[in-house]
């Protein structure tokens, strides 16, 4: 029988400093660079949970709440919210920190869907997840509602 994992077992906490090479002409972090960081951190959480390669299937709406400046630190907090069959919803929160002032701001949140695959690239069932805390249980329930919306949206296309 497959082992059930907790949310905590696959969480990712990633921190990166924004360097000049990561920015646009205004000195702000490029949106594509932030999306790259988000995709990597979320893929690590999905793979930690499944112990398999996981590929990005979809990304929910991304809203850039404020510019992230060169020299600031980007903090990514990532958790697997729910496992369906072969897919997993991964939730991600991006916070920025100014190291000189200690000020932190919520910069972005997103939900990414990953699919667990085998060595030949075929989807395979992922291990179940057990939410433990009240917050994990809320995110678990919310993930089911978001999945229904994603499936409804996908049917239109």
pLDDT, tens digit (0-9, with 9 covering 90-100), for 65-115: 999 999 999 999 999 999 999 999 999 999 999 999 999 999 999 999 999
Does residue 5 surpass a pLDDT of 70? yes
Express each pLDDT in 27-79 by its tens digit: 999 999 999 999 999 999 999 999 999 999 999 888 899 999 999 999 999 99
Predicted local distance difference test score (pLDDT) of residue 74: 98
Predicted local distance difference test score (pLDDT) of residue 79: 97
Predicted local distance difference test score (pLDDT) of residue 152: 82
Mean pLDDT of 6-33: 96
Does residue 1 surpass a pLDDT of 60? no
Q: Which helix (H) or strand (E) holds 103?
A: none
Distance CA 81, CA 130 (A): 9
pTM of structure: 0.92
Domains of the chain, start order: 5-156 (3.10.129.10)
**Mean pLDDT taken over the chain:** 94
- What three-state secondary structure class fits 101? coil
Predicted local distance difference test score (pLDDT) of residue 2: 61
Say how many C-beta atoms besides its own lie within 10 A of residue 156's C-beta: 5
Distance CA 49, CA 71 (A): 32
């Amino acid at each position: 029988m497959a082992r059930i994992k907790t949310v905590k077992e696959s969480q990712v906490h990633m921190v990166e400093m924004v360097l000049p090479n990561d920015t646009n002409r205004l000195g702000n972090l490029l949106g594509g660079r932030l999306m790259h960081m988000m995709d990597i951190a979320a893929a690590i959480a999905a793979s930690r949970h499944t112990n398999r390669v996981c590929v990005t299937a979809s990304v929910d709406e991304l809203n850039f709440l404020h510019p992230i400046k060169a020299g600031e630190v980007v903090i990514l907090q990532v958790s697997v919210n729910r496992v369906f069959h072969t897919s997993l919803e991964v939730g991600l929160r991006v916070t920025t920190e100014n190291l000189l002032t200690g000020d932190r701001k919520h910069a972005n949140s997103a939900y990414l869907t990953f699919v667990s695959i085998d060595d030949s690239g075929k989807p395979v069932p992922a291990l179940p997840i057990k939410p433990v805390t009240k917050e994990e249980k809320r995110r678990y329930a919310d993930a089911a509602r978001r999945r229904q919306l994603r499936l409804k949206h996908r049917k239109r296309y």
